[in-house]
Chains A and B, each alone.
Chain A
Amino acid sequence: MGRGASTNSIPEIEDCRFLLVIGSNTTEAHPVLALRMKKAVRKGAMLVVCDPRKIWLTKIAKRHLQLRPGSDVWLINAMMHVIFAEGLQDDAYIAEHTEGVEMVREIVSRYTPEAAEAVTGVPAEDIRATAREYASERHAAIFYTLGITEHACAVDNIWSLSNLVLATGHLGYESTGLNALRGQNNVQGLNDSGANPAYYPGYQAAEDPEVLRKFSEAWGGVELTETPGYRLDQILSGLYDGRVKALYLVGENPGHTEPNAKHAAEGFEQLEFLVAQDLFLNELTEKYADVVFPASSFAEKDGTFTNTERRINRVRAGVPCPGEARVDRDIVVSFARALGADWPEYPDAESVWNEFADLSPNWNGVRYDRLQETGLQWPCVDRDDPGTRFLHAPRPARPNGRGKLWPVEYQPPIELPDAEYPLTLSTGRTLYHYNSATMTMREAGITDKQEDPFFEISVEDASALGLSEGDWARLVSRRGDLEARARISDRVYPGLVWMALHFAQAKVNWLTHDVGDPLIGTPEYKVSAVRVERASR
C-alpha cells in the first residue's frame, strides 16, 4: 500500500466493530493495546483470533481459527475466495483505488475453503463465516504481529493481508485498516530514522542519486557510497565468509535473539574488531568485544521513541547515568569525532531531531515544542499539520494513488516435521519478560512469577512421552538442544510445541533455523522441527 506502518491509531481500536487478530498474542506482547481490544469486545465488537495457540484473546473471541503455523496464505486466500465467490468485495473501491485485482481473483479461485481446511486445519465453515463477517462490517480492522512476519514467506503473508484489505475497501477511515503491532518500543522509529541499509532517514531510497546529493550537502559535503549495504542476515553470514571484518554493535544481543543462535555467535570469532555499546555485558560481548562503551537506559536520556501508531513520543531523562556511563547520543558523537568526522555540536537531543526532521519530509512538521503533551503521528509535513491518525485517506499512499493487489501462492514452511523431528516448534514472547530478558530477569518481583525456562506441549503429546506438568524435558532440533520444563495444556494442539525466547540458559534460538524470507531476510522463528525427550534431571 506504500507505507511500512500501522494504518490506524490505538484509540480507534475500541470503536472497531470487527477485529481480526492474526499472529498476534496481543495480551502478552502488547498488553495495554490489548485493553482496547477488550474494550471493543465489551462494546459489542466481534473478535476473531487466528493463531496456532489458544491464546488469552480466544476467551473473549467469537471464534478461534486455530491454523497450523505457516499456513496463513492458505487461510487468507480462502477468505478472499469466499469474498469474490459471494460478491462481497467492494467493487467501487477496487475500481477507483486499486490495481491488479484480476490476477488475485484468478489465483484465489483455486483456494477453496475445503482445500484450505486440509492445509490449515481450520474448518471450511469457519473460514466462510469469518470472510462474510469481515467483508460486511465497515469498521473491520486487522491486527498482526510477528506471527505473520517471522516466516520465510513473510512478504507473501503481508501481501495476502493487504489484498484482503484492499479488496474489501477497509482502508482510509477510522477503526479499520491493516495494523502491524510493533514489537519493540522504537522499532518503528528505528526504521523511520534510517537505520536500514536500503533507506536513508524518512524512507528515502539509498540508491537514489538525488537523495545522496541532498544528504551529502546537509552533512558538510561528505562523499556517500552507492554500494548497497548488507542486511542483518547478510552481516551475520558475512562474519563467516569474511565480507564483514568489524562490527559496531549497539544495544543488541544477536547471540541470543538470532535464529540458529549458536552459529551466529560463533561467527563473532572471525571478527577482527568489535565495538559494543550496551547497559550490560552479555556472553557475546564479554568474549569478543575489543572495546565496550557503557551506555544509558531509557530513564537516563532525552529524545523520542515512535510507537506502533506512528506517534512520536518524548523520552525524558529522570535519573543520571550510573558511574561514567554516558547517554548514547554523546557516545556516538564522540566516536564519530574520534573517527575523524567534523560533526556539528549536538548540544541536546532536539538539535539531532531537527536535523532529521529538516531532511525528512513526512516528519518536517514534528518539532519538540509540539510534542509536550500527546506526541504527533507522522506523516506531519509542516507546522500546521496536526499529524495523521489514519493512513491512506482519501486514497492509498502510493505514487499513482492506487493500492496494489499482488497474487500470492502458498509456500510451505522450510522445515516440516518428519520421523526424526516429529513436532513443530513455534516461538514467541510471554507477558513477564522482554526479548533476551537482560532487563526483566533482573527484576526479582517478576521472576517470582516466571523464571525457569518452559515450553508448552499438548496433553496428548505429553502423555505419549510420559511427561508430567513441570517435568524437565529436552528439546532437540538439527541445530542444537536445550532443557526446559513442560507446561501441559490445551493452548497447543497435538503436534505443536511452543517456547518463549527469553531464557538465557535455554535459548530457543539454539533450535530455530536461519533460512529467512528471500526478499527481506526475516527469519522463520515460527516454524522449526524438533523432537522432545525426557530429561534426566
Chain B
Amino acid sequence: MVEFTLDGARVSAPEGELLVHAAARHGTFIPTLCHDEKLDPYGGCRMCLVDLEGAPRPVPACAQRVREGMVVSTNGETGALRRTLTEMLLAEHLSPNPGGRPNELTDLAEELGAQAPFLLPDAAREPYEDRNRLMGYDPGACILCNRCVRYTQEVMQCSALVFEGRGAEARVVPTHGHSWLDTECELCGGCLSVCPTGAIHEQFLGGSPAGHERALRKTKTTCTFCGVGCQIDLNVDPETKRIVKVTSDPSYVSNEGNLCVKGRFAFNFVHHPDRLTRPLVRGDDGKLHPASWDEALSLAAAGMNGVKERHGAQSIGLLASARLTNEENYLLQKLARGVIGTNSIHSCEAT
C-alpha cells in the first residue's frame, strides 16, 4: 500500500493501482472516455487530466499509477478543461444516438453543462457501409477513442479493425478496407461493447429499437451455448416481449463482460417462426397434427404405459439434454427411475 494526497486528503491505495481507480474507491469520480479496465492504460482522450504536484503539465489519471507521497488535485483549474474538451468533441459529434445505445459523451456533456459551440464544417466523415448484418459503424458518432481497435488487439489479439485517415477524416474501418465478414474478425461484438458513444452498434434484423434503449428490460441469465457459462443480460422490449439484444457486464465473473458471436448475436432462434407452439400427435394418416395438452399428455402416457405393460420398464429409454437446466434433468431422471422404473437415462453428451 502507498499513501498519497487526493484533493487535500490523505488516502491509501495498493501500489501500482491506476490513479483513476484509486480515486474512485475514495469517492472521487474522474470522468473518462477512452479508458476501459479491460485494456491497457491509454491516456488518449485527456478527459481525466488531473494536476500532479511537481509534474510539468497535467497528467491523465487513467494512465498514472499511484506513488507514495504524490499530491493530486482533481478540482483545480485543470478540471475546467474537461468542459472545453467535451465541447470540442461535441463539435465533431453529429450522431448522438446511433443504434439506440447509451452515449457516455452526451451523458458527460449533460453533467458538465457542455454544449457544442458550433459544428465543425468538415466534421462529417465518410459514412461506412458493411455487408455484415450484425454490426454497424457510424463515423459521425465516433470520438476516435480507440477502445474498439485496442479491444481487438489486446483482448481478441486479432487485427480486425484499424484507424484510417487523419484529422477530421479519421475513422475506424475493418482491416485493409474489407468487410467485417472478410477480416480476422470473429464477429464477437467486443468492439461495440466497449464503444462509449455507440458509434459501433448492433444492427437489428427484427427492426430498430432506436430511442428505446433505456426502456429495454434486462434479465441476467446464463448463455445457452458452450460450457463457459457466460453471464448475459437479455435486453427485452417490454411491449413486444422479444429479445432485442444481448449484453454483458465486466463485473460478471466467468466472462468479465466478454461474449462470442453466438452469445451476443444468436438469440433470434428464440423467436423463430419454426418454433413449435402447440403439442403435436400423430394421426391415423401418419402425419403430425396439433392437439391440446391434455390430449397429448394422455396419449403419451398411454403409449408409454402400453410399452411398459407389453415389454417391461427396461424396454423404455430416456435421452435427456445439456440444453436443459439441472432442475429439468433432475426431474427427468426421477421420472425414469421413480415413475417408469428404469435406469436407462442418458444423453447425447456422453463425452
Nearest Cβ in chain A — how far from B278, in angstroms? 5
Residues of A within 8 Å of B278, CB to CB, are: 294, 323-325
Proximity string of chain A (252-291) to chain B, C-beta cutoff 8 Å, 1 when within and 0 when not: 1110011000000000000011010011110000100111
Q: Which residue of B lies closest to A440 (CB)?
A: B266
Contact A190-B132, Cβ < 8 Å, known A245-B315, A431-B261: no
Contacts of A439 in B (CB 8 A): 224, 266, 269
Q: In this assembly, does B63 line the interface, its C-beta being within 8 Å of a C-beta of chain A?
A: no
User: Which one of B254, B315, B336 has the greatest number of beta carbons of chain A within 10 Å?
Assistant: B254
Find out whether the CB atom of B221 lies under 8 angstroms from the CB atom of A257: no
Docked CA distance A324–B297 (Å):
13
- Which residues of A418-437 are within 8 A (CB) of B? 431-432, 434
Question: Which residues of chain B are within 8 angstroms of A190 by Cβ–Cβ distance?
Answer: 320-322, 324, 326, 329, 347, 349
The answer to whether A328 and B328 touch across the interface, beta carbons within 8 angstroms, is yes
Give B260's nearest chain A residue, CB to CB: A31
Contact B326 A356 (CB under 8 A): yes
Which residue of chain B is the closest to A295 with respect to CB atoms?
Answer: B276
A339 touches B316 (CB 8 A): no
A444 in contact with B316 (CB, 8 Å): no
User: Which of A111-119, A120-128, A304-312, A471-479 is found at the contact surface with chain B?
Assistant: A304-312
The verdict on A140 contacting chain B, using a C-beta distance below 8 Å, is no
Q: Does A42 lie within 8 Å of B154, measured CB to CB?
A: yes
Interface residue? A247 (CB, 8 A): yes
- The reply to whether B253 and A195 form a contact with Cβ atoms under 8 Å apart is no
> With a CB–CB cut-off of 8 A, which chain A residues contact B219?
316-318
A-chain residues with CB within 8 Å of residue B228 when the two chains form the complex: 10, 30, 32-33, 307-308
B288 at the interface (CB under 8 A from A): yes
Q: Is the CB of B348 within 8 A of A186?
A: no
| Interface footprint category on B | 35 or more
- With A303-B325, A315-B325 already in contact, the answer to whether A248 and B221 are too (CB < 8 A) is no
Residues from chain A with Cβ under 8 Å of B333 in the complex: 193-196, 200-201
A432 to B154, alpha carbons, bound, how many Å? 22
Of B188, B205, B311, which one neighbours A31 at CB under 8 angstroms? B188
What's the minimum C-beta distance from A384 to chain B, rounded to whole angstroms?
20
B292 closest partner in A (C-beta): A324
Is residue B243 within 8 Å, beta carbon to beta carbon, of the partner chain? yes
**CB of A136 to closest CB in B, whole Å:** 27
Bitwise, B96-134 to A at CB < 8 A (1) or not (0) is 000000000000000000000000000000000001111
Residues of chain B contacted by A248 (CB below 8 angstroms): 304, 316-319, 332, 335
| Contact A325–B277 (Cβ < 8 Å) | yes
Interface of B is mostly: mixed
Inter-chain contact B221/A195, CB cutoff 8 Å: no
A448 and B133 in contact, given A197-B344, A200-B333, A298-B222 (Cβ under 8 angstroms): yes
Closest CB-CB distance, B249 to chain A, in whole Å?
Answer: 11
A78 → B minimal CB distance (Å): 25
User: Given A201-B333, A432-B261 in contact, is the A232-B319 Cβ separation under 8 Å?
Assistant: yes
Q: At the interface, yes or no: A146 with Cβ under 8 Å from chain B?
A: yes
How far apart are the CA atoms of A119 and B170 in the complex, in Å? 55
Of residues 438 to 478 in A, which have CB atoms within 8 Å of B's CB atoms?
Answer: 438-440, 442-446, 448-449
A535 on the B face (CB < 8 A): no
- Our pick among B220, B227, B230, B303 for the contact of A273 (Cβ within 8 Å) is B303
Residue A494 at the B interface, CB < 8 A?
A: no
Binds A, one of B13-21, B47-55, B84-92, B279-287: B279-287
Q: Are B349 and A249 in contact (CB under 8 A)?
A: no
The CA of A281 and the CA of B187, in the complex, are separated in Å by: 29
Residues of A within 8 A of B330 (CB): 193-194, 201, 352-353, 355-356
Chain B min CB distance to A25 (Å): 12
With both beta carbons as reference points, the residue of chain A lying nearest to B265 in the complex is identified as A445
- Chain A: which residue is nearest B257 at the CB level? A32
* A131 to B279 Cα, complex, angstroms: 57
Instruction: Collect the chain A residues with CB atoms within 8 Å of residue B335's CB.
Output: 248, 332, 335-336, 339, 341
Contacting residues of chain A (307-349) with chain B, CB-CB under 8 angstroms: 307-309, 311-320, 322-326, 328-329, 332-336, 338-341, 346, 349
Are B351 and A324 closer than 8 Å at their CB atoms?
A: no
Q: Given A324-B279, A328-B328, check contact A251 B321 (CB 8 Å).
A: yes
Hey, what's the 0/1 contact readout for A181-213 against B, CB within 8 Å counting as 1?
Answer: 111111111101111111011000010000000
A536 in the interface, Cβ–Cβ < 8 Å? no
A229 at the interface (CB under 8 A from B): yes
Docked complex: B124-163 residues within 8 A CB-CB of A: 131-134, 154-157
Comparing A97-105, A163-171, A219-227, A399-407, the segment that makes contact with chain B is A219-227
Closest Cβ neighbor of A222 among chain B residues = B338
Mask of B214-230 contacts with A, CB within 8 angstroms, 1/0: 00010111111111111
A275 and B343: CB pair below 8 A? no
Q: Which residues of B contact A133 (CB under 8 A)?
A: none
B10 at the interface (CB under 8 A from A): no
Residue on B nearest A223 in the bound complex, by CB: B341
Residues of A within 8 A of B311 (CB): 245, 272
Contacts of B310 in A (CB 8 A): 245, 272
Which of B242, B262, B305 makes the CB contact (< 8 A) with A339?
Answer: B305
Within 8 A of A (CB), among B254-275: 254-256, 258-263, 265-272, 274-275
Question: With A290-B303, A313-B229, A446-B265 known to touch, is A11 a contact of B254 (CB < 8 Å)?
Answer: yes
B9 contacts chain A at the CB level, 8 A cutoff: no
Complexed CA–CA distance, A182 and B325 (Å): 15
Residue of A nearest to B263 (CB): A32
Give Cα A298–Cα B311 distance, bound, in whole angstroms.
Answer: 35
Contact A279 to B275, CB < 8 A, known contacts A303-B325, A338-B301, A446-B266 = yes
Q: Which residues of A contact B234 (CB under 8 A)?
A: 299, 318-319
Chain A residue contacts of B223, Cβ below 8 A: 185, 298
Bound complex: CA A522 to CA B347 (Å): 11
Which residues 479-500 of A sit at the B interface, judged by CB distance below 8 A? none
Q: Is A70 an interface residue (CB 8 A)?
A: no
Is A149 an interface residue when CB atoms closer than 8 A count as contact? Answer: yes
Residues on A with beta carbons closer than 8 Å to the beta carbon of B1? none
State the Cβ distance, B132 to closest chain A Cβ, in Å: 6
Shortest 7 CB-CB contacts between residues of A and residues of B: A323-B277, A307-B229, A229-B343, A303-B325, A182-B227, A251-B321, A318-B219
Given A235-B344, A308-B229, A434-B226, 17 more A-B residue pairs with CB atoms under 8 Å apart are A31-B186, A190-B321, A194-B333, A243-B314, A245-B311, A248-B316, A272-B307, A275-B300, A291-B280, A292-B296, A299-B267, A299-B270, A313-B231, A335-B300, A340-B305, A349-B327, A448-B133
A sample of 26 cross-chain residue pairs with beta-carbon separation below 8 angstroms, ordered by A number, consists of A190-B347, A192-B326, A195-B347, A200-B333, A201-B330, A206-B343, A215-B337, A272-B307, A272-B311, A289-B288, A290-B282, A290-B300, A291-B303, A298-B221, A300-B270, A305-B229, A315-B325, A319-B236, A319-B241, A322-B275, A332-B328, A335-B300, A339-B301, A353-B326, A445-B132, A446-B265
